[in-house]
Amino acid sequence: MSHRYRLYPTPEQEAGLLDYCAHARFVWNLGNEQRLMYRPGRGPTPNYYEQSRQLTEAREAELWLASGSRTVQQQALRDLDQAWRNFFAGKHGRPGWRKRGEHEGFRIGNANEWRVEKINRRWSRVLVPKIGWVRFRRSRDVPEAKSYRVTMDQAGRWHIAFATVPQPIPGPGTGMVVGIDRGVAVSLALSTGETYQAPARAHRASLLARRRSRTKRGSNRRERARNCRARLLARDADRRKDWAQKTSTDIARRFDVIRIEDLNIRNMTRSAKGTIEQPGRNVRQKGGLNRAILGSGWGLFAECLEYKAVGRVKKVNPAFTSQRFSACGHVDAKSRKSQARFVCTACGFTLNADVNAARNIAAGCAVTARGGLPLGGPVNREPQLSLLAS
């Protein structure tokens, strides 16, 4: 986790920060190219230490690199080395290329080269090597950290983030269990009957994208349209992050055991366009569904919940949770009459469909197509709310 603050550099400092971003991007791409060019029989792939030695030679040959901070460039190589380690461990995908305007940022990892000073209640400043003191807005207390990262988003805003280990939120100690169903029309539905709605995405972003497509490449109108859309998307992302943080904190404080669906969001939002030989079907509809899922912040909410309620978040197989009635256990796809209405075909009881799914998730185990627990699955004996409570 990182504590992020808004950075306000002067024009001269901003030019220096952009140079640092270019140095980090250049070193990352050059080091990544070396690793991708490796072939069996050519010797070992250059690791961080070998590439750091080559960086010394490159700085002696290139004045452009020598004018920047060696710490920034070394940290870019450290980040690249860690990215490849994560790739070989199966934790992340293969490291890609950093692009200008999309991946603007650098990291300072040597605690001896920087420090933070408080100016007043609202402002602080950080020492950036070879640039000097840069002010940032003190929106909350600055944690003790060993490194920080400076980034610029596509809207042109500068931020500084201090890496720190978050403190988990203790549970209330009541033994209460809650199930959470994530959806598109209703972002979060709890087994208690409560619902949470993520901030709506700005529809004007698509209009600005079409306006940009009609402009000439390299023109000022195209750049203005791009900046306007980037600012709009940045505000959307800020609202979504704020909603995820506040909602996850509220749930972590109220419940001891939290059960959510084990969803593979990456596969769920995969494009349906297919190939030229086998084109996809309903591509536009699937694209709209993908945008709605990503706009609901499912993954961000689950990530925040896991580090705030450490050891108290359980993932449940979502199979048939939307088709099974939480009270009598009858499973029938016809019971779900609409997006929000669930009418059991066996007992005729009516319940909100999302809340019904959340109560099945709170039961703690998936169900089979015949409606029973799989292989006589475990019986949940933890305290729960009444399933028929309104």
φ, ψ for residue 298, nearest 5 deg: -60, -50
Between the CA of residue 66 and those of 23, 291, 318, what are the distances in Å? 10, 44, 55
Quote the CA–CA distance of 240 and 234 in Å, as a whole number. 10
Quote the CA–CA distance of 307 and 1 in Å, as a whole number. 9
| 19 has catalytic annotation | no
Quote the CA–CA distance of 83 and 81 in Å, as a whole number. 5
Q: Which of 19, 256, 261, 306 is catalytic?
A: 261
179, 181, 182, 187: CA torsion to nearest 10: -90
Q: Which residues contact 60 (CB under 8 A, 6 or more apart)?
A: 66
| 256 has catalytic annotation | no
Distance, CA of 256 to chain centre: 24
Q: Which of 19, 181, 256, 306 is catalytic?
A: 181
What is the token pair recorded at 97? 């290329």
Question: Which amino acid does the sequence have at 373?
Answer: L
DSSP string, 73-142: HHHHHHHHHHHHHHHHTTSS-------TTTSEEEEE--GGG--EEE-SSSEEEEEETTTEEEEEE-SSPP
* 252, 236 Cβ separation under 8 angstroms: no
Between the CA of residue 320 and those of 267, 330, 362, what are the distances in Å? 19, 11, 13
| 261 has catalytic annotation | yes
The catalytic residues are 181, 261, 354
